[in-house]
Structure 1
Amino acid sequence: MPVEVKICGLSTPETVDAAVEAGAELIGLVFYPKSPRNVTLPQAAALAARARGKAKIVTLVVDADDALLGAIMQEVNPDLIQAHGSETPERIGDMARLTQRPVMKAIRVKDAADITAAADYSAVASLILYDAKAPETLGGALPGGNGHVFDWGLLEGDKRPAFVLAGGLTPENVAEAIRVTGAPVVDVSSGVESAPGVKDITLIRKFIEAAKRAR
């Protein structure tokens, strides 16, 4: 089965179009003011309209309150919510009930204990996304999109049916990441940028091509 690709942190019509045309199955829109990839509700609504029916629309939030979730549902109407903060399993369940959408929980990984901890979310999250935990020495680290890789060997041989692999993926390393982990879905943000928050259309195409050819 071909690998599915999510291009996250899109913020312009041109890059949304490029991602969809190159074959991305999911596009990610970020709602986190500290991120260089942050979009407003009107921006997100316009971008989502370009992709609707062609790719699944994912809205990334970080410890979002009910008011923000409600506004996102009303204005953007995403297919999937990505929770990328310190949300508890209980909160993930609440988010799913409030939005009536599948919720993907991001787990930041440094070692095997982090992989094990993801099991706490298995009953409430529709998908688990494994991202790299930013080094403690990294100043200004974001919840995701820091361009760091974790040890893919921690997922080697893992047969769980639904998970997303993220964290420092690039057109150059995504095929090896898929080979090691067997990831059914890969997620990239900083790895297809020419500068923080600035997506590169050529890199988007190269990443998608490399991921699709990996299996």
Structure 2
Amino acid sequence: MTDSNESLADAGGADGAGDEPATAELPADVVDEAERLTRIARETPDENEAQARREWRASLLENYEFTARVREDDDAVLVLHPEEWHDAEEGVIRTDRIDDLSRAIEIPLEGTDDPDDWEAIDAHNRDIVARVRDRHGDVDGDNAAALADFVGNHYAKRIEDLTGAELAEFVTDYFVRNAWPSEKQRDVIEESITRIYETVDEPVPEFRDR
């Protein structure tokens, strides 16, 4: 998506963009997912992961003939708007194409204390990593760090909120392909997961045989 500094609020004579969490065209759960993917893309240090999230967001919005861009003013704002407003060649919003400004959705990406925001979730997960490392040593701590990386880059949720299927994805795919584990880490990964969940006093989601 091409970013632009032009504010939709200055694009025409209508008011109300972003007053509601979704338009009739764009369901609230789609808006929430687009925001989640945008936050992950902005915060992850891995550009490949960031690009994957932007592409996932584009694919999601394409189903509704919407597109996304991040407007970088004093504070960054995610703007979701109909594709027909966007000039792909020039990479800008064409104000002459805007028929109803209320069709757009603007979501501030900075200046929020929302406990569900990516930074707060990542800090929570990193605290778990530190506790596991302190209680059980570096091998389990490194495995916990790999799980925190996976959760932050892929799902932006607390470790204890992972589903069994998501945990299975970590063990069978991400851990093997992306974590570069040592032999000791590989040998104890399931034990490490048990210790991670014991640390947060939560049951381990069923992830085996998935």
TM-score normalised by the chain length of structure 2: 0.26
Relative to the length of structure 1, the TM-score reads: 0.26
Compare the two structures and name the one with the higher helix fraction.
Answer: 2
